[in-house]
Amino acid sequence: MDSPFVFSREVINELFVGRKDELSWLSSNLANKENTVLIAPPGYGKKSLVRSAFIQAAKHAELKWCTCNLFNIRDAYSFYTLLAHELFSAACATGDEWIAMADHLLPLARPHIEINEKRTNAPLQIIFDRQRLLEFADEILQLPEKIALLQNTSFIVWINDFQEIARFDNTAAFQKRLIAQWKPQRNVGYLLCGSKINAMHDLFSEKQVFHKFGEQIPLEPVEEKALVDYIVKAFSKSGRVISKEFAEVICRTTSCYPFYTQQFAHLCWLNTKGFVIDSMIDAAAEDLLNYNDHFFRFLADDLSDSQINYLRAVIDGIDRFSSAEVLARYQLHSSANITRVRGALEKKEILTFPRNKPSFINPIFEYWLRKRYFEG
């Protein structure tokens, strides 16, 4: 029997849990072509929310959409090429249509359309001369609006890992170019998603060109009651039993972080053929740490002594670091060093600082540090 708990891919329909308000909000924005920003760490359910919202929005509006994933995009040329390829894939069905559209909508960039039927995953490729593309990149940025007008439809451009544009050479000029071409568009909605929350908040902060480009929908942890109800019902439907109290333990251990909640519940489900008992919860908690141990070791190995000491202080409940006693106890040396450490941990997406208080982005990394690193 397949596990009812899914954590390795996005989910829709009956597997989508909670976030009814966010789902309604996002689907309305998509149907109305409102630019929208989603910021949340990996495994937080952004893709599941977006997929579900597209399904709802499509019931109320005629929409075409394309997806661009920037996780491996490091420069403007690669960005423009990817955007053009995904737009053509969404708008055209055949190689002839690709060629006709390129001739009609990209007369200055003049791409070559390569057709290779032996390449089953992507038989059509759009290829640009680098210098020419960078010179006439505005044609690419105008493509969504031009396609929408040409095909008498609305277009949604969904961009994942949007924070990666901050790493491009001369990113300030690149961002201004995007804004200049995207803001006037009326038949296109841009959905900009990012998994590095500190980098995304910087990108959309005041005095940055993307500030207020789109409506930001806050993604909090999934509400505990919805997750508890789902876990109890999922066990019951598969002929197994977990108490509400144990389901609450799962949710509180993971801080209702969707990926880890589903993973923890899955491990509990694997550990029983009948009723879940205390020892099964404890074993699943150990398995949860074991499954993620390699990744967390990699994170910890990349931290300096001062950064590790700062995290220990955070776990101990310290949120004021300026006293001589705290500096000495945790070997943090000076206030200037604390400022550097905070900045480094923000950049590494380990901590965030709501209301200037340190908070772990990944609750299971914090749990691993408590249980394995500092007590091991």
pLDDT given for residue 376 in this prediction: 57
Sequence-distant (6+) residues with CB within 8 A of 196 are: 41, 161, 163, 349
pLDDT given for residue 259 in this prediction: 95
Does pTM top 0.85 for this prediction?
Answer: yes
CATH superfamily of 19-218: P-loop containing nucleotide triphosphate hydrolases (3.40.50.300)
pLDDT given for residue 370 in this prediction: 95
Residues of the chain predicted below pLDDT 50: none
pLDDT given for residue 118 in this prediction: 67
- The closest of 332, 327, 360, 334 to 345, measured between CA atoms, is 360
Distance of CA 18 to the CA centre of its chain: 18
**CB-side neighbour CA atoms (13 Å) of 164:** 17
What does the angle CA 261 – CA 267 – CA 270 come to, to the nearest 5 degrees?
A: 140
pLDDT given for residue 120 in this prediction: 62
pLDDT given for residue 10 in this prediction: 84
pLDDT given for residue 14 in this prediction: 77
Span 342-375, pLDDT tens digits: 999 999 999 999 988 999 999 999 999 999 999 8
CATH class of the structural domain 303-373: mainly alpha
Sequence-distant (6+) residues with CB within 8 A of 306 are: 331, 332, 333, 337, 340, 341
